[in-house]
Amino acid sequence: MSDSKIESILHEERRFEPSAAFTANANVSGMEQYRQLCQQAEEDWQGFWGDCARREMDWDKPFSTVYDGSDAPHHKWFNDGELNISANCLDRHLSTRGDKTAIIFEDDAGTTELWSYRQLHEAVCRFANGLLAAGLQRGDRVIIYMPMRPQAVVAMQACARIGAVHSVVFGGFSAKSLEDRIQDAGAKMVITADESVRGGKAIALKATVDAALSACSHQVQTVVVYQRSGAPVAMQEGRDVYWHDFSDHQSTDCPPVALNAEAPLFILYTSGSTGKPKGILHTCGGYLLGSILSMRWVFDYQENDVYWCTADVGWITGHTYVCYGPLAVGATQVIFEGIPTYPHAGRFWEIIAKHKVTTFYTAPTAIRSLIKAGADLPKQHDLSSLRILGTVGEPINPEAWMWYHEVVGGRRCPIVDTWWQTETGSNVIAPLPGAITTKPGSCTLPLPGLFAAVVDEQGNDVGNGEGGYLVIKKPWPSQLRTIWGDDQRYCDTYYPANIAGGRFYVAGDSARCDEDGYFWIMGRIDDVLNVSGHRLGTMEIESALVANPKIAEAAVVGRPDELTGEAVVAFVVLKGERPTAENATALMTELRDWVGKEIGAIAKPKEIRFGDNLPKTRSGKIMRRLLRIIAAGEEITQDVSTLENPAILEQLKEKIG
């Protein structure tokens, strides 16, 4: 983070206290109650979590131990307890909320479909029976590559119901990325659709699955295809089956299996600092508890709320705050298939007004692009139903925060800026809206029971205003359990010996705390970019680039971007000559498309620079620090005498094409 950013953070003087009216009805009502919860967790950490788990979840078999750290950092929570996640999300509501709307689905074209809890339960049972009939067993892995529709939730919930482990792959990922995930997870089944339709455009899903499977040495036995658009797709005899043939004739009775609290629930792949994505493994009991508590604490969930989290189920936010959290508390939620700007730039505001959304959760990048698309557009819609606004994925700049507050929230709605990660499972640092005064740009204070801190390498708390490593000092129920198939990487990444001697969970972010103990996230400390709120490993993009036959070497860095937070900049050394101004543009397009094909459109470099070499130390290490400065268009002021080839910097500053 640049010094100027730190300065602006330290000078942020605006404060927004919860209104008395909001606090009066809030689940956590005022600072005192928040402090009490934190104190309970501090004084009797296990008792606190044990009480929460007994109160919030239905257990088939009660647990006798809350936390078992005998094999730390392999944490076990509620280990001898048994429960079923799908039963906790659906069955337990049937007697009291069977006819309540669980999902308000709005498709790309604007047609609305309502699903009651009873209907959702039936669809999940049918599909789960289909999974059983196909021979799927507990612990088997299933890849879900679906459009953002209720069927995606049905597929996930059905897996949870029978104890199969789902791994959702975002529908924008390429065949190559999909293939890697199918292989790594060792999946037996893929659930997909013919196409997804977003912004009026069809995107082939089944064809991508076919391409992934044709390159896969691993045996996938079944591919279930939901007919979204009805476009003709190739169906492989004996392997491929349409969703309706798979599920519609099945019984609506499918008893949920009681699973150990530590049984795996899902694997979700996320980027790390090496080329290989990490399969983050979450388990049943602790994960669900985190989802439920944050729904109550951070989103202040009330029975009549209409909740809308805009995240796709392909990301962790779509797992915790679409598929599991809202259903577990019995909420009514909006699921939207389309994009914010189609058929017009006011689509989000139209949906909020139409369905009387009370709680709206989206990403800073979406907020910034909506400001650009029409800062006054929200005023054309009745947004008076809103009572809470949320953001997630990256730091929100104070200007976007203020616009969200004033124009969308009418100065009435608290903003919950939620810091968390795929690995943490649910919100970790976020304001409890009826208690905590907010400051634009800060995710404020940790949730009760979450011992977040900013420390130095030795693990000592740094002083207020000083930057350091963001850590969580004690385990918590919804944290990841390991990296699928690579436990050593789990230990090395999240409990590294060189920071605090491996005692704390290390998030990989740097942060600082101000004089009120508020957290300000400064960015990643590893080689991971944050583009539009999504993590991209620079190594992953580099590996994709060097897989191109024309490329000898590549280094990828991020540079600040007004809209997407960070943008990908690639420095490339070709096997042949450096391109000329005439042929550079075509080559850039070719390489960008190549990355799109290898990883997905989201990873395409915004800018590509060509050099005869990359700046390296005498030992051959690429000096990314310098590349970052060049990418940002800043002057290099530091000493470059340790470089093997300082002249290369001038060449890389030049833009060709």
CA 110/CA 200 separation, integer angstroms: 11
**Closest listed residue to residue 363, CA positions, set 336, 339, 390, 386:** 390
* Contact pick of 395, 425, 477, 605 for ligand PRX (by CB under 6 A): 395
Residue closer to ligand PRX by CB (options 80, 514) is 514
* Contact pick of 101, 422, 478, 493 for ligand PRX (by CB under 6 A): 422
CB of 273 to ligand PRX, least distance (A): 12
294 is a site residue for ligand PRX (CB under 6 A): no
CB of 349 to ligand PRX, least distance (A): 23
Burial 528-561 (b: 16+ CB within 10 A, else e): bbbbbbbbbbbbbbbbbbeebeebebbbbbbbeb
Residue closer to ligand PRX by CB (options 220, 316) is 316
Residue closer to ligand PRX by CB (options 136, 298) is 298
* Contact pick of 97, 535, 592, 624 for ligand PRX (by CB under 6 A): 535
Relative to beta strand 607-610, strand 565-574 is: parallel
Are 187 and 222 a contacting pair, CB within 8 Å? no
**In this chain, which residue has its C-beta nearest to ligand PRX?**
422
Q: Which of residues 242-271 bind ligand PRX (CB under 6 A)?
A: 270
CB of 510 to ligand PRX, least distance (A): 9
Residue closer to ligand PRX by CB (options 535, 592) is 535
CB of 604 to ligand PRX, least distance (A): 18
Lookup result for tokens 């669980």: 102
Alpha-carbon dihedral 330, 332, 338, 342, rounded to 10 degrees: -160
If you count them, how many residues does the chain have?
657
**Interacting span for ligand PRX (CB under 6 A) from 43-51, 240-248, 323-331, 412-420:** 412-420
**Interacting span for ligand PRX (CB under 6 A) from 324-332, 418-426, 540-548, 557-565:** 418-426
348: left (phi over 0), alpha (psi -120 to 50) or beta: alpha
509 is a site residue for ligand PRX (CB under 6 A): yes
Contacts of 156 (CB under 8 A, 6+ apart): 144, 166, 168, 266, 313, 319, 323
421 is a site residue for ligand PRX (CB under 6 A): yes
The interface mask with ligand PRX, positions 450-489, x = CB under 6 A, is ----------------------------------------
* Contact pick of 143, 507, 554, 556 for ligand PRX (by CB under 6 A): 507
Nearest 5°: phi and psi at 202? -90, 140
* Contact pick of 108, 122, 417, 566 for ligand PRX (by CB under 6 A): 417
CB of 420 to ligand PRX, least distance (A): 5
**Interacting span for ligand PRX (CB under 6 A) from 112-120, 397-405, 416-424, 561-569:** 416-424
Q: How far is CA 639 from CA 240, 458, 519, 623, in A?
A: 60, 29, 33, 12
CB of 435 to ligand PRX, least distance (A): 18
* Contact pick of 317, 365, 538, 548 for ligand PRX (by CB under 6 A): 317
Residue closer to ligand PRX by CB (options 162, 521) is 521
CA 379/CA 246 separation, integer angstroms: 46
CB of 199 to ligand PRX, least distance (A): 23
Residue closer to ligand PRX by CB (options 352, 507) is 507
**Interacting span for ligand PRX (CB under 6 A) from 212-220, 339-347, 393-401, 565-573:** 393-401
> DSSP label at 479?
S
Lookup result for tokens 């879900």: 144
Are 293 and 320 a contacting pair, CB within 8 Å? no
365 is a site residue for ligand PRX (CB under 6 A): no
**Closest listed residue to residue 131, CA positions, set 325, 145, 227, 139:** 139
Helix ranges (H only) for 309-414 are 316-318, 325-328, 347-355, 364-374, 398-403
Are 63 and 81 a contacting pair, CB within 8 Å? yes
Q: Is 424 helix (H, G, I), strand (E, B) or coil?
A: coil
Contact positions vs ligand PRX (CB under 6 A): 270, 316-317, 392-395, 417-422, 443, 507-509, 521, 524, 530, 534-535
